[in-house]
């Protein structure tokens, strides 16, 4: 029929409506092979050693280089953005003498728990479309089917209910590609995927564990029995396999380059993703699917001559625009780095006890930022600018209780209290030295070292 919308385009439009209803701020689509430049950037980043202790980046580099290798049957990558724009200026918390600065994304509920439920909701909707052979559109029934895999089988994976949280190291959830994903999560903070010029981009790859899952190892296939929103009026045969793959923080995917390819925004000079209509306070999600959806036009860079994000960095973590050396990044040092931090970098950490938002907060594009919609991501009581003296006294049980449901819990008590000691040492308040007393002989060498350093710094000014 003349003027009829192609089924793939109609499905994409319907999926965008579902995404908006689920709470996402924006959706875009790209092909799995849309970021060929990422491989060279990743290789250069790893060769320079800018990944620091994040060995999983090199170990799973083959999959990280090429999203198509994760699931060769995939025809489209659906990229989704959710805003967590704060209602305050995070820079107001930096430099508070007796309180710690916590990255905005970690002040509320763990975003993994919030966003992955929305990803699964969309994935189930797509699975329902495949099961029904189409969906009810504004103009009536639209018949559409996914592209069948040549083998007729999907890569091995666990069902969504079989995801094993708590597999990796001392953390409590499996590493995201830090991998992460057929469908994965990323947060805009200096992070782990190579930036536009081959460095690490803000993310939180290793934050959820010290190992990545291999493609198909912990990838979650959406059970077709759990469908939502698709009409069953068509009697098409069920597809042999699920048309979507949701790895949820378990596959090595570079979400930010894919998000740029899908038109959501671009990787700025701070290597975070930012958009003209989103700002840069963004969580990203990705769903791989065998549905053939029309791709969006890739976004281009719009930073111009601005370098505010580069100049504000307290530890000079940006060797050049669009490049990040994770080994100097406060987000990496306070979250990913194990053991004592280089003494030359400790003063620059200031009172930041978990992450750093300086390069995000200073970005002029935030004047167009979309307001956060989910109150679960808003700061929980006591999470924004907590008192350093109280935090220094936390034992393991107290730490777990204080940060239950928070991404902060993932790094463990020892690494967190180490950070608190650095903040006390940088406070210039000798009275806080009393909180360091028991910690100079702490069983954890990193905590004991930090406490001794902080005590000397307070005493010598």
Cα dihedral across residues 308, 208, 426, 388: positive or negative:
positive
Going 324 to 413 to 255 to 93, the CA torsion angle's sign is: negative
CA 92 remoteness from chain centre: 24
Q: Give how far the C-alpha of residue 221 lies from the chain's centroid of Cα atoms, to the nearest Å.
A: 21
* Interatomic CA distance for residues 383 and 303, integer angstroms: 32
Distance, in Å, from the CA atom of 458 to the CA atom of 142, rounded to the nearest integer, reads 69
Q: Could you give phi then psi for residue 45, rounded to 5 degrees?
A: -60, -45
Catalytic residue chosen out of the listed positions 93, 249, 357, 414:
249
Contact 101, 388 (CB under 8 A): no
Question: How far is CA 382 from its chain centroid?
Answer: 23
SS3 265: coil
Interaxial angle between packed helices 7-22 and 111-132, expressed in degrees from 0 to 180 and rounded to the nearest 10: 150
249 catalytic per annotation:
yes
Query: How far is residue 286's CA from residue 319's CA, in Å, rounded to a whole number?
Result: 29
Contact indicator for 78, 359 with CB cutoff of 8 Å? no
17 vs 41, 114, 259, 429, CA distance in Å?
A: 34, 19, 18, 53
Enzyme catalytic residues: 249
């Amino acid at each position: 029929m003349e003027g009829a919308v192609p089924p793939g385009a109609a499905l994409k439009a319907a999926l965008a409506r579902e995404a908006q209803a689920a709470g996402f701020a924006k959706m875009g689509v790209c092909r799995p092979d849309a970021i060929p430049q990422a491989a060279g950037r990743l290789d250069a980043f790893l060769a320079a050693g800018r990944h620091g202790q994040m060995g999983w980046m090199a170990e799973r580099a083959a999959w990280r280089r090429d999203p198509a290798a994760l699931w060769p049957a995939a025809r489209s990558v659906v990229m989704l953005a959710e805003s967590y724009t704060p209602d305050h200026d995070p820079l107001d918390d930096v430099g508070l003498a007796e309180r710690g600065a916590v990255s905005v994304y970690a002040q509320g509920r763990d975003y993994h728990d919030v966003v992955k439920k929305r990803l699964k909701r969309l994935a189930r909707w797509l699975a329902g479309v495949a099961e029904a052979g189409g969906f009810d559109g504004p103009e009536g029934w639209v018949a559409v089917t996914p592209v069948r895999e040549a083998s007729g089988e999907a890569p091995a994976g666990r069902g969504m209910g079989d995801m094993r949280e708590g597999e990796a190291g001392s953390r409590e959830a499996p590493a995201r590609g830090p991998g992460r994903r057929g469908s994965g999560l990323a947060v805009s903070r200096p992070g782990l995927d190579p930036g536009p010029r081959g460095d690490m981009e803000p993310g939180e790859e290793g934050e959820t564990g010290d190992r990545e899952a291999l493609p198909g190892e912990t990838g979650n296939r959406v059970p077709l029995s759990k469908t939502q929103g698709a009409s069953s009026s068509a009697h098409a045969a069920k597809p042999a396999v699920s048309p979507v793959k949701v790895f949820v923080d378990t596959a090595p995917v570079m979400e930010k380059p894919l998000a740029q390819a899908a038109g959501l925004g671009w990787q700025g000079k701070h290597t975070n993703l930012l958009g003209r209509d989103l700002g840069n306070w963004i969580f990203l999600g990705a769903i791989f699917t065998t549905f053939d959806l029309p791709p969006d036009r890739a976004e281009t860079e719009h930073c111009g001559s601005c370098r505010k994000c580069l100049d504000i960095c307290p530890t000079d973590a940006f060797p050049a625009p669009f490049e990040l050396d994770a080994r100097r990044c406060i987000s990496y040092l306070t979250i990913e780095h194990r053991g004592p931090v280089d003494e030359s970098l400790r003063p620059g950490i200031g009172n930041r006890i978990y992450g750093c938002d300086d390069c995000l907060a200073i970005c002029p594009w935030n004047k167009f930022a979309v307001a956060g919609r989910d109150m679960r991501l808003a700061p929980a009581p006591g999470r924004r600018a907590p008192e350093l003296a109280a935090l220094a006294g936390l034992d393991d049980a107290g730490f777990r209780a204080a940060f239950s449901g928070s991404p902060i819990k993932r790094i463990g008590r020892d690494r967190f209290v180490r950070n608190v000691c650095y903040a006390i040492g940088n406070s210039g308040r000798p009275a806080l030295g009393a909180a360091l007393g028991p910690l100079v002989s702490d069983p954890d060498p990193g905590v004991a070292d930090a406490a001794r350093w902080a005590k000397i710094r307070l005493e010598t000014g």
